[in-house]
Amino acid sequence: MSDKLKILVTGGNGFIGSHTVVELLHAGYNPVIADNFSNSSPGIVENIERITGKRPAFSETDICSESETQKLFLEHGPFDAVIHFAAFKAVGESMEKPLMYYHNNIGSLISLIRVMQQNQVSKLVFSSSCTVYGQPDILPVTEKTPLKSAASPYGKTKQLCEEIINDVCTVEKLDAVSLRYFNPAGAHESALIGELPLGIPNNLVPFIMQTAIGKREVLNVFGGDYNTPDGTAIRDYIHVVDVAKAHVSALQRLYSQHSHNGNEIFNLGTGKGNSVLEAINSFEKTSGTKLNYKIVARRSGDIEKVWADTSMANKELGWKTELDIDDIMRSAWNWEKYLASNV
């Protein structure tokens, strides 16, 4: 069945998008990438082709623009389903430029759903985030854990997008799956695609890699006084290839008899939390490289600890993680070395 299905992947050139396109191709789907290069580079399609032996169609489109999106559907459709990644994702930047985040992240979803409706496309996989939970009172976090006020405009856009999808699903023909990612990291084992942070990275794993390769002098560990076993904050780091495979499972869900009409929500994590120091140890062990780091003050807006209960995704999507934090560090390090010798 998957052979015949043409899947629009917005933001398909980005970090999670590009890995998902690879998994879609492996599974026999026909993905079409739409991306405006706002946080990605043009060489990705070639590398996807090198990995899979298949070249996905590509369209340079800003999904916020309804006319551009309509043109995309006319030129590359008809689409059977859409996976929507295209969004801004830097928490700190969203605090400085809230309007830009609301405009881009909310605007692109509205424009996309409107054009989907005009073209009778009713299946959507949405890229959400564990940031919607804030600092939860009880761990691990299940999909039923009450949402707290998000700490950043970025987080609020994810909450609002989920609400928009919920509301549309109740009155229109739209079936959706929203995937709440915990902390995606790592790279493809080929080292041909991975995370390409613009400027100074905000996220831990890219910062570790850039420090180890010599682009940054020292990794600041934000906070050594948290209420955790080693005093550093805990997150659920999930390998990007596991995240990508969950999107294939989510699509299958939308085509299965189990699909509910509405917006189904799943956590994507490993179910295990690692502290910042554990992440550093994993890096040092797998790479054989010492990392220059120092413990500094907490970063404002950070939460202390969060990790996922993944039983819903395991049971309902038939998906589970296959890789762990060592695989994340090994693959991210191979990718960093590839970048150093190729860019």
Q: Which is closer to ligand UD1, CB of 89 or CB of 188?
A: 89
**Minimum distance from residue 91 beta carbon to ligand UD1 (Å):** 5
CA angle 69, 72, 77 (to 5 degrees): 125
* Cα radius of gyration (the chain): 19
Which residue of 306, 308, 325, 329 would you call a contact of ligand UD1, by CB under 6 A? 306
Q: Which is closer to ligand UD1, CB of 57 or CB of 95?
A: 95
Q: Which of residues 177-206 bind ligand UD1 (CB under 6 A)?
A: 183, 202-204
Residue 255 known to be catalytic: no
Q: Which of residues 81-100 bind ligand UD1 (CB under 6 A)?
A: 89-91
Among 154, 226, 237, 293, the one annotated catalytic: 154
Which residue of 102, 222, 255, 338 would you call a contact of ligand UD1, by CB under 6 A? 222
Contact range with ligand UD1 by CB under 6 A, out of 64-72, 116-124, 218-226, 332-340: 218-226
Q: Which of residues 255-294 bind ligand UD1 (CB under 6 A)?
A: 276
**Minimum distance from residue 110 beta carbon to ligand UD1 (Å):** 21
- Does 330 help bind ligand UD1 (rule: CB under 6 A)? no
Q: Alpha carbon 301 to chain centroid distance? A: 20
- Does 131 help bind ligand UD1 (rule: CB under 6 A)? yes
Q: Which is closer to ligand UD1, CB of 147 or CB of 303?
A: 303
Output the 3-class SS for the chain: CHHHCEEEEECCCCHHHHHHHHHHHHCCCEEEEEECCCCCCCCHHHHHHHHHCCCCEEEECCCCCHHHHHHHHHHHCCCCEEEECCCCCCHHHHHHCHHHHHHHHHHHHHHHHHHHHHCCCCEEEEEEEHHHHCCCCCCCECCCCCCCCCCCHHHHHHHHHHHHHHHHHHHCCCEEEEEEECEEECCCCCCCCCCCCCCCCCCHHHHHHHHHHCCCCCEEEECCCCCCCCCCCEECEEEHHHHHHHHHHHHHHHHCCCCCCCEEEEEECCCCCEEHHHHHHHHHHHHCCCCCEEEECCCCCCCCECCECCHHHHHHHCCCCCCCHHHHHHHHHHHHHHHHHHC
Identify the CA nearest to 263 among candidates 254, 271, 272. 254
List beta partners, residue 296.
222
Q: Which is closer to ligand UD1, CB of 73 or CB of 293?
A: 293
Contact range with ligand UD1 by CB under 6 A, out of 71-79, 141-149, 161-169, 296-304: 296-304
Which residue of 2, 119, 220, 311 would you call a contact of ligand UD1, by CB under 6 A? 220
- Does 207 help bind ligand UD1 (rule: CB under 6 A)? yes
Contact range with ligand UD1 by CB under 6 A, out of 12-20, 28-36, 125-133, 165-173: 125-133
Task: Measure the CA dihedral 293/298/302/304, to 10°.
Answer: 90
Q: Which of residues 32-61 bind ligand UD1 (CB under 6 A)?
A: none
Q: How many of the chain's residues bind ligand UD1 (CB under 6 A)?
A: 22
- Does 325 help bind ligand UD1 (rule: CB under 6 A)? no
**Minimum distance from residue 295 beta carbon to ligand UD1 (Å):** 9
Which residue of 16, 22, 161, 221 would you call a contact of ligand UD1, by CB under 6 A? 221
Residues lying near ligand UD1 in the complex (CB under 6 A)? 89-91, 129-131, 183, 202-204, 207, 219-222, 233, 235, 276, 299, 302-303, 306
Q: Which residues have a catalytic role annotated?
A: 154
